[in-house]
Amino acid sequence: MSRIPLSSKVRALKPSSTVAVTSRALELRRAGVDVISMSVGEPDFDTPAHIKAAAARALSEGKTKYTPVNGIGELREAIAAKFERENGLTFTPDAVTVTSGGKQAIFNALFALLDAGDQVIIPAPYWVSYPEMVRFVGGEPVEVHTRAEDGFALDPDAVAAAITPRTRVILLNSPGNPTGAVYPREVLQAVADLARAHDLVLLTDEMYEHLVYDAEHVSVGTLAPERTITINGASKAYAMTGWRIGYAAGPADVIRAMNAIQSQSTSNASSVAQWAALEALTNVDATAAFVSGALAAYRERRDRIVSGLNALGLRTPTPDGAFYVMADTTPIHADELEAARRILDDARVAVVPGTDFAAPGMVRLSYATSLPLIDEALKRIGGLLQGQ
């Protein structure tokens, strides 16, 4: 068979170095080995019952057709109300767009904003998809480093130093994946001031906003509403990763452009999932009860895993948000890919090497898993360290 040539865009996509670890974990599982998964970025909780019931109702009522490209009006109104209630952001429903997951919202926004060679400043360690998405639409990612020793705090002076005449966007993710860092108001204010001074767009991914422990979540859009696109979604907060509901809100012309992109690609997010998300956002008490229960569980797990890893000699800062920790695995091996491989093969715990996050010497562990499994994982990693 002749080889079919692929586009230069696709050929430029960086294959994920985590694939090797993930495929090895699957292989081990298939062979009957009980691998503890601490690599996935999703809540271990089931979607709350009231949300599932709303989806079942939507199905039985035949709400199964195309929806408007930007989402059903009821949901956009509920999202605008959520932004007002929880974030102090004011949007008309037309300034909101519903997407197939937060990922699509970020992609559409970058597609709408970037021309070839435009630069996007991204604090590192970052979520793996950001630089790839930026490159995919012709832009150029520019990393601004943060350090584990400082709890991955963002230094606005480092952001300022990274600005060039080609900078177009500053991409913020607080609480952050993989670091769990939550940016304080004064840092966000300084970054917003920079954006204003240099006429830049702020793209803020707030997917983990409800998972904040001892810090305050501040939406940077409150500090520079005229230039901020705020991304959020149902995946992490309401344990709805598989439903694929994300959303964005911001200046009307950008949202209109994002709608135009969506109209020629995916058309609309799943109708049934939109009705489910509407329930999540409007049955405020039931949803808040779920979120606060999940948050309490995550906090206990975070404390357990941070103290456990540090006690084993793997330096791990205490994150303020999200459900990930970054552990220094250099005592296992200087190369985080090799460390992750040993943790998988010898301790039977699946973790993600920091390679793709721009976090050398570290691995990411997700604590969206039960306390007994966290304890067992710590025991196994302890065994690996002792056996070295």
Binding site for ligand PLP (CB under 6 A): 41, 101-103, 127, 173, 177, 205, 207, 233, 235, 241, 246
Shortest Cβ 10–ligand PLP spacing (Å): 20
Residues 6+ apart with CB under 8 A from 251: 95, 226, 227, 229
Sorted by sequence, the CB contacts under 8 Å of residue 91 that are 6+ apart come out as 79, 80, 83, 84, 249, 250
Is the CB of 135 or the CB of 348 nearer to ligand PLP? 135
Nearest distance from residue 157's CB to ligand PLP, in Å? 24
Cα gap 215→185, rounded to integer Å = 10
Rounded to the nearest whole angstrom, what is the least distance from the CB of residue 384 to ligand PLP in the complex? 27
Q: Which is nearer to ligand PLP, 93 or 102 (CB)?
A: 102
Closest residue (Cβ) to ligand PLP? 101
Residue 37 vs 310, nearer CB to ligand PLP: 37
* Distance in Å, CB of 267 to ligand PLP, minimum: 17
Least separation in angstroms between CB 346 and ligand PLP: 27
Are 323 and 368 in contact by the 8 Å Cβ rule? The answer is: yes
Shortest distance, position 288 Cβ to ligand PLP, whole Å: 20
Q: Which is nearer to ligand PLP, 236 or 348 (CB)?
A: 236
Q: Please state whether beta strands 96-99 and 352-353 pair in parallel, antiparallel, or not at all (unpaired).
A: unpaired
- What element of type H or E holds 305? helix 284-311
- Whichever of 119 and 235 has its CB closer to ligand PLP, that residue is 235
Task: Return the residue matching tokens 């832009």.
Answer: 139
- Our CB check for ligand PLP shows the closer of 207 and 365 to be 207
Q: What does the DSSP 8-state code read for residue 265?
A: T
166 Cβ contact partners less than 8 Å away, ≥ 6 residues apart: 117, 118, 119, 140
